[in-house]
Copies of this chain bind each other. A is one copy, B any other.
Amino acid sequence: MNLWIAGASITDFGELWNRSLFDLLEEASLGAVAQAQIPAEDIEAVFVANMGAGAFEGQLHLGAVVSSFFSHFPPAMRVEGACASGGLALLAAEQAILSGQYKTVLVVGAEKMTDISAEQATAVLSGAACQHSECGSTFPGLYALLAQQHMQQYGTTREHLSAVSAKNHRHALNNPHAQYQKEITVQAVSESAMIAEPLRLLDCSPLSDGAAAVVLSSERVANDNPRITGFGQGNDSLSLAKRSSLTSFVATQRAAQQAYSLSGKQVQDFPVMEVHDCFTIAELLALEDLGVFAPGEAGSATLARETTYGGKVVVNPSGGLKACGHPVGATGVKQVAYLAQLLREGQYERALAHNVGGSGATAVVHILEAGEES
């Protein structure tokens, strides 16, 4: 499978009141092309990941917006699957390359969420849940149900959840683009304001502005280009009420199995991962569904420092959604862009990215490997 990451770029994530959605899309897009060191005209198609610009800003048709950054106006489309939009846009781009239609394409994800009130943004984000059976629910409320069930079934504790958040904040200290570059203690998470029992303020990823982009190519452009060697997508019932389990995401399990199978790799082959920690409980679910830990064991492992440097696997070195920030359309692209940079620098040989839409109705897994010496 010839899918090379020729270039990658991530903007600052945060409350960027002086940057528009257009600014962010342009910075990430041109940054990825610049890193790839290819002429801009080599971009044959564009795939834009965005969830809610139509509702956040009244701007739809973002494919055409990004196409307009290039004088040759490459064909462009927007891909959406709630918070998994980034992972899905990567998949669409990969399929377009593998079809032989294009050799080199740009994938850019962005979201501009802080120009409206937090109440309005929460309402837009609720559009990722089932508006028939979950109308009126918020995402903290839906993930709180999952957390309660996990605590009841496996004995997951308040401290386990807090350890996820504290660890991701600590990791973000290494990421200059992160929204929060500030260490927080396990105790501070446990004592933060209650949002939806048992989830507290510091269990939740923030509203963020930001963008990320990668240039994918069917050919290796430079020796240090990492490679995508596996991908997978799983779906499940949009409505939690119709799920077979509330303590795992079948969509993640399916996506991971496909990606492992395609790449010929197993979960223990990955020393580093970016996983979808929109809430602390989501990181525990991810680690169990990916097979890193047995069901119910991710919380205690996190507390025992198994998911940070020196442990079993480094999870969310960027700071994750919690501390790096979660501009929803950007997230899935950012995970791959961030890991690509670590591989490019020679820090790791293999990495895994895991992106979730809604409360687990959509999941996408990508596997990256450092390019062999040519």
Stretch in A30-38, A96-104, A276-284 with 4+ CB within 8 Å of B:
A96-104
Contacts of A68 in B (CB 8 A): 130, 237-239, 242, 361
Q: Do the beta carbons of A80 and B80 come within 8 Å of each other? A: yes
In the complex, residue of chain B having the shortest beta-carbon distance to the beta carbon of A258:
B75
Nearest chain B residue, comparing its CB with the CB of A94: B99
Evaluate contact between B79 and A79: CB separation under 8 angstroms: yes
> Cα distance A65–B132 when bound, in Å?
10
C-alpha spacing A91/B68, complex, angstroms: 20
Q: Is the CB of A52 within 8 A of B60?
A: yes
A191 contacts chain B at the CB level, 8 A cutoff:
no
Q: How many copies does the complex hold?
A: 2
Check if A128 is an interface residue, CB within 8 A of chain B.
yes
**Which residues of B are found within 8 Å of A75, using beta-carbon distances?**
233-235, 362
Residues of B within 8 A of A61 (CB): 80-82, 127-129, 238, 357-358, 361-362
* Chain A positions 182 through 193: 1 when the CB is less than 8 Å from some CB of chain B, otherwise 0: 000000000000
Residue count of chain A within 8 Å CB distance of chain B: 62
Given contacts A77-B79, A88-B77, A95-B96, contact A67 B235 (CB under 8 A): yes
A78 touches B76 (CB 8 A): no
A residues 43-100 in Cβ contact with B at 8 Å? 51-55, 57-65, 67-68, 73-82, 88, 91-92, 94-100
Known: A81-B64, A82-B60. A132 touches B74 (CB 8 A): no
Complex Cα gap A92–B45 (Å): 12
Are B82's CB and A358's CB within 8 A?
no
* Interface residues as binary, A238-272 with B (CB distance below 8 Å gives 1, 0 otherwise): 11001000000011000000000000000000000
Cβ contact within 8 Å between A59 and B127: yes
Give the shortest distance, in Å, between A233 (CB) and chain B (any CB). Answer: 4
A121 at the interface (CB under 8 A from B): no
In the complex, are the beta carbons of A362 and B54 less than 8 A apart?
no
Q: Is A123 an interface residue (CB 8 A)?
A: yes
CB neighbours of A63 from chain B (8 A) = 80-81, 88, 235, 357, 362
Give 1 or 0 for each of A206-230: 1 = CB within 8 Å of chain B CB: 0000000000000000000000000
Task: Known pairs A61-B238, A77-B81; list 5 more (Cβ under 8 Å).
Answer: A58-B123, A59-B131, A61-B129, A79-B79, A98-B101
Nearest 3 Cβ contacts at the A-B interface: A98-B99, A64-B361, A60-B127
* Chain A residues within 8 Å of B, Cβ to Cβ: 20, 22, 51-55, 57-65, 67-68, 73-82, 88, 91-92, 94-101, 123-124, 126-132, 233-239, 242, 250-251, 357-358, 361-362
